[in-house]
Amino acid sequence: MEVKTSLLDNMIGVGDMVLLEPLNEDSFIENLRNRFDHNEIYTYIGSVVISMNPYRSLPIYTPDKVEEYRNRNFYELSPHIYALADEAYRSLRDQDKDQCILITGESGAGKTEASKLVMSYVAAVCGKGQEVNKVKEQLLQSNPVLEAFGNAKTVRNDNSSRFGKYMDIEFDFKGDPLGGVISNYLLEKSRVVKQPRGERNFHIFYQLLSGASEDTLKKLKLDRDFSKYNYLSLDSATVNGLDDAANFRTVRNAMQIVGFMEDEVQSVLELVAAVLKLGNIEFKPESRCNGFDESRVKDKNDLKEMCELLGTEQTVLERAFSYRTVEAKMEKVSTTLNVAQAYYARDALAKNLYSRLFSWLVTRINESIKAQTKARHKVMGVLDIYGFEIFEDNSFEQFIINYCNEKLQQIFIELTLREEQEEYIREGIEWTNIEYFNNAIICDLIENNQNGILAMLDEECLRPGTVTDDTFLDKLNTVCAEHQHFESRLSKNSKFLTDHSLPHSCFRIQHYAGKVLYRVEGFVDKNNDLLYRDLSQAMYKANHSLIKQLFPEGNPAKVNLKRPLTAGFQFKASVGTLMRNLQTKNPNYIRCIKPNDKKAAHIFTESLVCHQVRYLGLMENVRVRRAGYAFRQAYEPCLERYKMLCKQTWPHWRGPAREGVEVLMADRQVPTEEFAYGRSKIFIRNPRTLFFLEERRRRCLQDLATLIQKIYRGWKCRTHFLLLKQSQVVVAAWYRRYAQQKKYQNIKSATIMVQSFARGWKARKILRELKYQKRCKEAVTTIAAYWHGTQARRELKRLKEEARRKHAVAVIWAYWLGLKVRREYRKFFRANAGRKIYDFIIQRIMQKYFLGLKSSMPSMSPVDKNWPARSYLFLDGAHTALRRIFHLWRCKKYRSQFTEEKKAVYEEKLEASEIFKDKKALYPSSVSQPFKGDYLEISKNPKYQKLNSTVDEKVLLADVVNKINRANGKGAARIFLLTKNSFVLADQKTGQVKASVPLPDLTSISVSTQKDGFFALKLKEGSASAAKGDFLLSSEHLIEIITKLHRTGAMAADGDQLNIDISDEFLVQFKQDKVCVKFVQGSPKNGNGVSCKRKNNRLLEVSVP
């Protein structure tokens, strides 16, 4: 079951100001402060949403929040802007009512962010689909484009809208967006040429200079330095929290999504650059012979670049800045412009160029986002327009803005009262008139066609003769002197004797938001908004694709001598159209409030908030809502909320909801004058009655909670007892089973024990009988054996005695013969005794030497150089010969173990030693590394299957090398393959063969003497392989690659040896040029490795650590 909360649950302060008790300004402000301190930035006044700008991100706009407020009653959840957006969308979708959302408040209060939140919520809850998502994305992405060109940093807001925007979003019958139409009002184009201190020009200028690429800036003839452009203020050029470069990329992407073509984007940027260049054009005075002063352009470089951007002739535009042509009837009069007039013409052109570009952008966006079908559409309008402005220096722009806010306040009061009255009539409640301040008198003061300030300003602009701002003020003093909301030095309401704060060149109007002092300086010029016809015609002559569209009045074939409409007249007409549009729609209000002027979080300035509450008329709005009934609610949710207060309605009411509410109110004895029954709602007059019901409900909920706890605890204890009882039965059953199993096991083990003892006794008895029989048999055999042994020993003794006797006779005979011989040869023996003893001793020494040598022989390793020491000097020759013979023998034995492959590897190692030993510093570290050959396993790796198939011969070596680029010294990875007849270089990623060179075309190889892996393969001049020049490569297996190339190249060239050049400086042929590769000692910047740098077109320097 879904748990629903209410606006009245867990309130911080009061969520709806209509329920505030007591109602006064202090309690109103305190309630706002209390909610703001607890991050509750939204508060209701009936159906109006008050939004406080938190100046920080809050976690209340997540997708989960969107789903939480989706299809929920407005008062069902705590106050939120999503609730208003959902109510407006559901009314449009389900009740077929066109809606408008009016967002008002002063600059910096968060109006633009509020409009974004409304649009993002509607986009999130409406239908899905490819076309629908495209329309939603285009509608949302129109905001960044308009913000870049129409927003600027002001002292009160870093992203202040300097134009009014009204967007009509069109929906089909299902509630899916079809498109939209945007209307813009009064862009503050004076900001283009001048900004107040602490403020910036429009965002797009800074975004373009910060985020555009160098190539784009070069095409636009711009520089990134803000200080080079007179139209850009420098004191606030950078803003904390604004990344102009990133925002520029966002704007470019948004324009692409909305539907701008690339040439259109380029044309727009060219016009923005032209405005910046226009501000740098300066003039100098030049006297003519007739005594008149005329102006000339000082430095024509900026003018030239601007003309190149716009595609216009420099002389035409230069003349338009120096002369003005006036046409009257059939005559043309050309007059010169002085320096001041030239600067005025320049600024007028800049303002008109930018404002017309902005209008074109709005029109172009409308073309992209407009609905494609012509069927009737449902419409939701979102109005984001300037807030009421009161500055120290208020001019024509503030006057126009405040006039628009007066009209919005007027329609706000009218529509609020009308909505209240319609609800009372719809519910059958008696309507009573409500007194309120009607600001129609202020609107009439400004817009009256006869005596209004705008009418008099237009009349003054059209009047022949000398027209100045002072003459306009004099006229105001004459016509409006007695108006109660108009004050000046000469009016009757100024109280001149006591009010010295009113300057001579100013007038003051008592607006609904307070008194505003306007300085008349510039009113006439800004209302005229005059652009000389010469400049319009010069712009029309441009070859630029947009300029002709922006200046159609410059067409010589369509010259219109009528005076153009004034800015005030145009704005008054557009405001009238807007008001008529809003009156046809159901209004929804968002009143934005700025908590402080520091743009900081957690700061609540009471005086500032109080001022905004007053001029927004919020207290008056609360009084209007409370003049009748302060609270209203449908019968079903009312009964659902308060049914526990009455026994008849608790826990379920079976009848109609209205009857249940009547029974409930009667049971609570609420006075009948405190409430009224409508057709579908109950209306409560006083908030105290509602709070009384809420308090009784709170107490009742506590009692119900206690009852629920009691029932729950009882259920929990009973459940626990039953669980224990069931557990006891199970435990007892399991124990009885265990006891019986244990008893059975004991009986079984005892039985097995008795059986085992019986079987053992029987087996031992049988064993004893068998042993007795065996012993009897063994005794007979033993006796017979002993007897036979005795007989044999006796016979052996007899035979031995006979043999001893015969041997004694033979020994005596031998001794006798020896004695006879010794006696006969004694004389010969004494003569040769010395020589025989010498030979005997030498023989024994040699025998001892060989036996010692046998026991101390060295190992069979050919690299073992150990050999036993000689013991006698006369054995030195034999000792050395034996050592050599033994070494040759063990080398032969060691070689006999080699396979053919291992034998070839050692031959390569031997050849590498002959080439590089004592010549290349890298060689000693390669001795212990075996030559693997195929490092890539090219025949097994499926990645190189295609490359392997292109090579017909057996691959002798496959490795990754770096091919050095002569342009920058950087390496590109290549696969190096060596076969018997050629070597191949292929791309590492794709496996595509880049070069295949026959080995006979390879003439020599050059390497350095140091520890690097660089080597150059030099090709035969005139061969087909040498068309692109030699190869400069680097590899970690340089010794192995060059050795294999040397061996294979010799075989391929029929015995001719490949030349190996080892030097720290050699030449490499790159196409038509020869480049010197030089190796130097040093530590490279990028680490401890080898680095290659291009020093000039003829030198590559390799730094080796």
Write b or e for each residue in 494-516: b if 16 or more Cβ atoms lie within 10 A of its Cβ, otherwise e. Answer: beeeeeeebeeebbbbbbbbeeb
Choosing from 43, 104, 112, 142, which is the catalytic residue?
Answer: 112
Q: Which of 586, 590, 426 is nearest to 89 (CA)?
A: 586
Helix (H) or strand (E) holding 185: strand 177-185
- How many Å apart are CA 209 and CA 216, to the nearest integer? 10
Q: Is 157 a catalytic residue?
A: yes
Question: Contact 1061/1084 with Cβ under 8 angstroms?
Answer: no
Residue of 160, 267, 295, 491 marked active site: 160
Long-range contacts of 862-871 (CB under 8 A, 24+ apart): 862/887, 862/890, 862/891, 862/894
Which member of 53, 161, 267, 1091 is catalytic?
A: 161
Torsion angle (degrees, nearest 10) of CA 496, 502, 506, 511: -100
User: Annotated catalytic residue: which of 105, 110, 381, 387?
Assistant: 387
Q: Residue 848: how many CB atoms within 10 A of its CB? A: 12
Contact assessment for residue 939 and residue 957, using Cβ atoms and an 8 Å cutoff? no
- DSSP per residue over 214-244, as a string? HHHHHHHT--S-GGG-TTS-STTSS-TT--H
600 contact partners, CB below 8 Å, separation of at least 6: 55
The CA distance from 420 to 36, in Å, is 28
Q: What is the DSSP string of 20-69?
A: -SS-SHHHHHHHHHHHHHTT--EEEETTEEEEE--SS--S-SSHHHHHHH
Q: How far apart are CA 819 and CA 1092, in angstroms?
A: 101
Choose, from 15, 105, 108, 1013, the residue flagged as catalytic.
108
Q: How many angstroms separate the first and last alpha carbons of the chain?
A: 75
Beta strand 1031-1034 with 1014-1019: parallel, antiparallel or unpaired?
antiparallel
Active-site residue flag, 1029: no
Identity of the amino acid at 310: L
- 161 annotated active-site: yes
Residue type (1 letter), 544: H
Catalytic site residue from 43, 47, 107, 588: 107
- Cβ(51)–Cβ(22) below 8 Å: no
- 3-state helix, strand, coil split of the chain in percent (to 5) is 50, 15, 30
> For this structure, is 387 an active site residue?
yes
Q: Residue 856 catalytic? A: no
Could you tell me which residues are beta bridge partners of residue 295?
285
Catalytic one among 40, 147, 305, 389? 389
User: Residue 33: exposed, middle, or buried by beta-carbon count in 10 A (0-12, 13-18, 19+)?
Assistant: middle
Per DSSP, what are the bridge partners of residue 987? 974
Catalytic residue, chosen from 43, 78, 157, 184, is 157
Query: Does 949 qualify as catalytic in the annotation?
Result: no
Q: Which two tokens stand for residue 475?
A: 């006229």
Would you put residue 892 in left (φ > 0), alpha (ψ -120 to 50) or beta? Answer: alpha
Range 864-892 burial, b when 16+ CB lie within 10 A, else e: eeebbebeeeeeeeebeebeeeeeeebee
Catalytic residue check, 605? no
Looking at residue 310, the DSSP 8-state letter turns out to be H
Distances (CA, A) of 888 to 290, 820, 864, 893, 904: 122, 55, 13, 9, 21
CA 1027 to CA 1004: how far, in whole Å? 17
41 vs 23: CA distance, rounded Å: 20
Give Cβ neighbours of residue 400 (< 8 Å, ≥ 6 apart): 186, 567, 568, 571
- The CA–CA distances, whole Å, from 494 to 395, 454, 677 equal 20, 21, 52
C-beta of residue 926 within 8 angstroms of C-beta of residue 912: yes
H-only helix segments in 61-202: 63-69, 81-95, 111-125, 130-150
389 is catalytic: yes
Catalytic residue numbers, as ranges = 107-108, 112, 157, 160-161, 387, 389
